[in-house]
A = this chain, B = another copy of it.
């Protein structure tokens, strides 16, 4: 019901303007800042595609003494290359970060430095692994993402495209949560459950929702399209579309659903 587009995306063209721009940024940065030249070469310029650069960077970050980077880089790249939807989502996420976050100065800045972006792409890989029956590997990736990027997204959670996880520290997204397209999620946000029972127990977030820092949204509730959740809010009930909810417990303060106090 939450409108995650599942229509087939057109094949990605050989001309990749974001990747072209990213490489130009890195060449310029390498000239201006020789201290970064070898780093930018190994992470971006040495690779033929955006997918390979992302896989290399992410695999190196998620690797550990017992979880080898070569293996992870290959796994991430193969998983991404099997799924055209993910390849589009990566680019829509980069564009969303660049457009919505005034602190994002370039495409390469997003790819290299934004742990929210990297955690999200790792989740996309883990979600595909989970969906194709490779649960134990998906859970191992979730765990490394939580350790390395401080973002804990269950691999079963469904997340749309054009997503901004800003700052991202402490984000938690539960197993049955769904996030639509073009959603912005600040740090310390929880999409959690309300008890120890299994089954559907996590929020469904509509398209275009903005969730402020530290907001806690609990239970299998629905946050409607275009809604805004204020920083620090605790939301335990549905939020109508295009409505703002603030406070602990959250009350509706604007939009169509304004009159009714939430309870």
The distance from the CB of A2 to the nearest CB of chain B, in whole angstroms, is: 20
Q: Is the CB of B231 within 8 A of A192?
A: yes
The distance from the CB of A178 to the nearest CB of chain B, in whole angstroms, is: 16
Query: A148 in the interface, Cβ–Cβ < 8 Å?
Result: yes
Supply 21 A–B pairs (Cβ within 8 Å), ascending by A: A29-B136, A32-B136, A33-B134, A42-B66, A60-B64, A102-B175, A103-B154, A103-B174, A103-B175, A105-B135, A113-B139, A113-B140, A150-B150, A167-B172, A169-B169, A172-B187, A188-B188, A190-B213, A190-B214, A232-B232, A233-B248
Q: Which of A2-43 contact B (CB under 8 A)?
A: 29, 32-33, 35-36, 39, 42-43
Contact count band on A: 35 or more
Chain B residues whose CB sits within 8 angstroms of the CB of A102 once the complex forms: 175, 193, 196-198, 201
For residue A114, which residue of chain B has the nearest CB? B143
Q: Is the CB of B35 within 8 A of A75?
A: yes
Query: A84 in the interface, Cβ–Cβ < 8 Å?
Result: no
Binding site for B on A (CB under 8 A): 29, 32-33, 35-36, 39, 42-43, 57, 60-61, 63-67, 69, 71, 75, 100-103, 105, 109, 112-115, 134-137, 139-140, 142-143, 146-150, 152, 154, 167, 169-170, 172, 174-175, 186-188, 190, 192-193, 196-198, 201, 212-214, 216, 218, 230-234, 246-249
Cross-chain contact of A137 among B35, B140, B247 (Cβ < 8 A): B35
